[in-house]
Structure 1
Amino acid sequence: MRKEELSIRVFKALGHPIRYKIVKFLYDGPKCVCKLNEDIEFSQANLSQHLKILKEAGILSSEKIGMNMHYSLANDEIKSIIDSVDEFVSSYDYNFK
């Protein structure tokens, strides 16, 4: 896969509100999928699909600990991307069209 294709995959993965929320939820460290399920109000199957997309984009990693699957950000660079977009949005001129 070319770099450009991977970049597009990352942006597409982050472009969904649920996946964005998952990434923000994992900012402070790994979480059990059970905690994600409590915070993200969707079915387990729906949440699993979103987690799969984020993993395939290289955004998340997972580790089985005991009986539970734990998810974390694959690296902290993703935080920089999210923070940059959040900063851009905060300074965005909503009157500009």
Structure 2
Amino acid sequence: MKDTACEFFKALGHPLRIKIVKELYDGPTCVCHINDNIESSQANISKHLRILKNGNVLSCKKVGMYTYYSLTDEKIKDVVKIVEEMMK
């Protein structure tokens, strides 16, 4: 049986994934905009999006040809901010 809290924190455990999460602070964002705003290959970003989705950090919705990602819960922003403040 998976520990969902562990899976959640494991999903957040990479600098690129934190950048992706921060890209979604203002609401759902098309994957094309995520690719434009983060310096990494499309394949690498797709891999990290999948990890975040599997960790229940992100959800996605297909609209026509575009895929939009969003945070599963607004409290995720608080989690990231709290941890960043603790590490200062």
The aligned counterpart of 1:34 is 32
- Aligned match of 2:8 in 7, 10, 32? 10
Which structure has the larger Rg over C-alpha atoms? 1
TM-score normalized with structure 1 length? 0.84
TM-score, normalization by structure 2 = 0.92
Partner of 1:95: none
In the aligned structure 2, how far is the partner of 1:58 from the partner of 1:13?
8
Aligned to 2:18: 20
* Higher RCO by CA contacts (8 Å cutoff, separation 6 or greater): 2
Output the aligned Cα RMSD. Answer: 1.1
How many residues end up aligned between the 2 structures? 88
SS of the residue corresponding to residue 27 of structure 1 reads: coil
List alignment gaps of at least 5 residues for structure 2. Answer: none
Deviation string 1:7-58 (CA, Å, 9 cap, x unpaired) is 1111111110100100011001010000000011112111111000000000
1:45 to 37, 40, 43: 43
Unaligned runs of 5+ residues in structure 1 are 91-97
Q: Return the alpha-carbon distance in structure 1 between the equivalents of residues 28 and 54 of structure 2.
A: 18
Percent of aligned pairs with the same amino acid: 52
**Following TM superposition, where does structure 1 have runs of at least 4 consecutive aligned residues deviating by more than 6 angstroms?**
none
Instruction: State the distance in 2 between where 1:87 and 1:40 align.
Output: 23
Q: Say which is worse superposed, 5-14 or 51-60, in terms of deviation.
A: 5-14
